[in-house]
Structure 1
Amino acid sequence: MTGLTVVLSAGFTWVGLPSAVLFASLLAGITQALTSPTVLELPALAYRAAQAVIGVTIGAAVSLPALRRMGEDAVPIGAVLLATLAISLAAGWALSLRRDVSLVTGVFSLIAGGASGVVAIARELGADDRVVTVVQYLRVLVVLMTMPLVAALVFRPPSGRGGLPPMDAGLPRDLAFTIAAVAIGLVLARFVPAPTATLLLPLAVAVGLSVSGWLGRPQVPTFVEWVAFALIGVQVGLRFTRASLASIARLLPTALGLIVAVIVLTAATGALLAWLTPVDGLTAYLATTPGGLFAVLSTAADTGSDVTYVLAVQLCRLLVILALTPALARWLARGSRRA
C-alpha cells in the first residue's frame, strides 16, 4: 500500500493534480480494502496525529484580516449554510422513500458535514448506524475523489505546494513549532469530548504560537504535511471493505445518485457565494463542499486557496449540524410516527 501511494503520488504530481498525495493514498487504501482478505486499520494515535498536523497547517495560515472580512459576508454565508442544510434534508427524504430506509436513517445518512460525529451518535438518534456509516463515508469518498479533479479541470490553480525543497531554511524552527502545537493540542483534546477536537485544538495552539511571533512565521514542513495527507486518505479508503459495501448493496445505486446530486447542488451554492462576495471561485467551491473537512482543508492549503475562509465556512456548517442533530432526530421521529 505504501509503494502504491508513492507511485501514484509521483504520477499525480507529474500531471499537476492538486492534493496528489491525498488522492493517491485514498486510492491505495481502497485498493487494499477491496483486494485483501486482511482488514487493516490505522492506529488511532496515527490518525489523531494526522488530524492534528492538518489543524496546525491551517492554524499557521489563518489570516485575521480574512476573518474580519468574513463578517461583511455574514448574510450570503448564512444563506449558503441554510441552502446546504435544505439540500441535505431533501436528499435524505428522497433516500427514505425506499421501504427499507427510515426517515431518520435517510436524513442522517446524507446530511452534509460532520461524518464522524454523525456516525458516532447515529444509533442513539434512532437511525440504522450501519447504513449511516457506509453512506456517510461513501459521500466523503466521492467528495475526495472529485475534488482534486474539479480543482484541476475547472479552476486550474497555478500549482500546489509543489515539490519538496532540498532543505527548508527554517526547518529546525518549523519542526519545533509543529511538534509543540501537535503535542499541546492533542493533550488538550483529551479533555474535550468533541469529534473535531483533534483538529481544532492544535489549530488554536498553532494560531497562538504564530500570532505571538515567538517563532517568527513558522509553517509545517512539507514532508510532514505529505505524511498527514497520506494518513487521512488511507483512513478513508480502508473503510470501504467488501463486507461493508455488501451490507447495503441494494441501497448503493440510489445513495450514490443522491450523493452526486448533493455535490452538484452544493457546488452551485459555492458559485452563488463567489458571485455575491469578493471570494474567488475555488475558495467558494472548497468552502461549500459537502464533507471531508480534513481533506478539504488539505486541498485548500495545497492549492493556495484562502484557507481561513474555507475553514470558517466549513466549521460554521459543521457546528450548526452537530448542534441541530438531537432536535432534528426528535422532529424526524415524530414525523415518522405520524406517517
Structure 2
Amino acid sequence: MAPTSAPRRADERPSLTASTAPKPAPRIFELLGSRPAPTGLWALIVAGGYAAGLAADAVGLPAPYLLSALLVGAVLALCGVVRDRLPAPAHRTSQALVGALMGSYLTPSALVSAAPVALPLTVVTAATIALSLVAAWFLARGGRISRPSAVLGMVPGGSAAIVTCADELRADVRLVAFTQYLRVGLVATTAPLAAHWMTSASSAAGGHPAAGGGAGPGLLHVVAGSDQLTGLFALAAIAVAGSWAGRRLRLPTPLLIGPMLVALVATLSGAVPGFAPVGMLQNVVFVLVGLDVGVRFTRQTLVSMRCLLAPILVCMAVVCLGCAGLAWVFAAATGTPITDAYLATTPGGINAVLATAVSSHADIALVSTVQSLRLLAVILVTPMITRLLAARWSKPAGADGQGARNVPLRASVYSNVDRLRACSRTRVRVSGRP
C-alpha cells in the first residue's frame, strides 16, 4: 500500500515556485518610463521646435530648424519630460519625405556634373571607412568595449541599419546605438556651424557668396510645383511606394533609400510634376529630424555610458577632423567649394547634412549623391568587415588572459552579478536543509 503524504501543518506555508511566486511591484520611475508620451504632448513639442526654429532663423543661426529642434529634444529628454522616441508614424514620415527630397535633387545635369569627380570621391569614401576602422581599433584596445561593438559604433552612416544588425554580429546593441546616435548628434550639431563658417570665410576671401533665400514661399506653398494638390499627391505616392519597395527589396534603411530611388526615377523621367517639399513642410520635416536625434540622449543613457563617454568622444573627434582634412584635400584637388566637399564627406548624419546643405545653399546634388553612395557601401561591407576583424582579433578565453576582452563591459558585469546571486541562493538552500 502506497504511503500517504504527511499532513501539512497549520503554520506551514506552501513553497513558491518560479511560476507562482509574486512578481515585485514596478517602481514609479519604471512606470513613468514605460508610458508613451501622448499625441498632444508630441504636437506641442513639434510646435515648440518649429517656434524655436523661427527664432533661430531670425537671428541668423545656420540650419535653424534642425539645430533648434535637436536642442529642444535633448533638453526635454535630459529633464525627463520625454522618455521615449519620436512616434513611429512621425519618424517614418520624416524619413520618407527626406528620401523624396534627396531624390528630387538628383537631376540628370547634377549626376553628369558629379561624374568627373567620381574617382576622387571613391577614394575619399574608402579613406573615411578606413579611418573609422582605425579609430574603432584604438577604442577597443582598452578592453572595455568589444571589437564588434567598436567597429559597428564607429562606421560612418546607416545608423538605423547598423543598430539593427548589431545583435546578429554579436555586438552590444545598446553600446552600438549610443555610439551611432552620439556621432549623428555630433555631426548634426557641428556641420551647420562649420558650413556657415566656411561659407563666410569663402565670401570674405573674394568667393561668390551663397544666394539669399529671399522671402521664401508662402504658407500654402509646400511643394516645389505650381499645382500644389497634384504635387502633394505625387509626394505622398512616392513616399508610400518607396517605403513599400524599400521593405520588399530589403534595402538598407528602406524608409529613406526606397523613396529616394523612386523620387530619382520620377525626377529623371520628368513625368511627375514638382513634388519636393519646400517652405513650411520642409521646415517641419527638419524639425522632426532634429527631434528624432535629440530625444535619444536621455539621462539614463548618459549615466549608463558615462565611463565610456570620454574615449568615444575622442575617437569621434578624430574621425570628424580626419574627414574635414579629406574634404580639404578633395576640394584642393578637384576645385570643388570647401563647403560642398565638407558636407559631402561628413561621417554620416545624412538627414542633418541634407538640411544643412539646403540651408547653406550648397550643391545638394553632390552632397546627396556622395552621402547616399557611401551609405550603401557602408551597409554592404560593414557586416563582412566586422565578422572578419572579430574572427581575426578574437582569442580563446583563458589562452593568455585576453579572451575576456571580447565581452562587452556591461555584459560581463551582469554575468558576475548573476553568479553572485546564484551562489547566495545555493547557500540559502543548503543552510535550510535539516
Give the TM interval when normalised to the shorter protein.
Answer: over 0.9
The Cα of 1:23 is off from its aligned counterpart by 1.0
| 3-state SS in 2 of match to 1:73 | helix
Q: 1:335 to 1:215 in 2, by over 3 A?
A: closer
Contact in 2 for aligned 1:185/1:203 (Cα 8 Å): yes
2:198 paired with 1:145: no
1:203 to 260, 283, 304: 260
The answer for the alignment partner of 2:179 in structure 1 is: 135
1:257–1:56: structure 2 CA closer, same or farther, 3 Å change rule?
same
Among candidates 90, 96, 100, match of residue 140 of structure 2: 96
Task: Quote the Cα distance in structure 1 between the aligned partners of 2:175 and 2:214.
Answer: 37
Aligned to 1:177: 234
Tell me, what secondary structure is at the counterpart of 2:307? helix
- Displacement of 1:66 after TM fit? 2.2
What value does the CA root-mean-square deviation take over the aligned residues?
A: 2.1
Distance 2:80 2:217 in 1: 32
How far 1:327 sits from its partner (Å)? Answer: 1.8
- Decide which moves more: 299-308 or 211-220: 211-220
User: Contact conserved, 1:54 with 1:298, CA < 8 A, in 2?
Assistant: no
Structure 2 match to 1:250? 307
Q: Which amino acid aligns with 1:294?
A: N
- Once the two structures are superposed, the pairs formed by residues 1-339 of structure 1 within 5 Å of their partners are 1-36=45-80, 38-156=82-200, 157-159=210-212, 163-168=216-221, 169-338=226-395
* Bigger proportion of residues as helix: 1
Rounded Cα–Cα distance in structure 2 between residues aligned with 1:210 and 1:187: 19
**2:197 & 2:262 partners in 1: Cα distance?**
35
Letter in 2 for 1:329: T
Q: Which runs of 5+ in 2 are unaligned?
A: 1-44, 201-209, 396-401, 403-434
TM-score, structure 1 length as denominator? 0.92
Deviation at 1:75, TM superposition (A): 1.9
**Greater relative CO, 1 or 2 (CA 8 Å, sep 6+):** 1
| Structure-2 change in CA distance of 1:195 and 1:323 (3 Å) | closer
Bigger radius of gyration: 2
Q: Secondary structure, in 3 states, of the residue corresponding to 1:27?
A: helix
Separation (CA, whole Å) in 1 of partners of 2:235 and 2:105: 13
Q: Matches of 2:214 and 2:165 in 1, distance apart?
A: 36
Q: 1:105 to 1:6 in 2, by over 3 A?
A: same
Q: CA deviation at 1:170?
A: 3.7
Alpha-carbon offset, residue 159 of structure 1: 4.0
Contact 1:185 1:198 in 2 (8 A): yes
The code of the aligned residue for 1:305 comes to A
Tell me the number of residue pairs that the alignment of Structure 1 and Structure 2 aligns.
339
Cα deviation, 1:156-177, whole Å, max 9, x if unaligned, reads: 3444586452553543343233
Shift in Å at residue 216 of structure 1? 4.1
**Identity %, equivalent residues:** 33
> How far apart in 2 are the matches of 1:162 and 1:143?
29
Residue by residue, what CA displacement relative to the aligned partner does 1:208-266 show, whole Å, maximum 9, x if unpaired? 33343334444323211111111111111111111111111101011112111111110
Is contact 2:91–2:288 with CA below 8 Å preserved after alignment? yes
Deviation at 1:83, TM superposition (A): 1.1
Distance 2:273 2:157 in 1: 34
Report how far residue 194 of structure 1 moved: 2.8
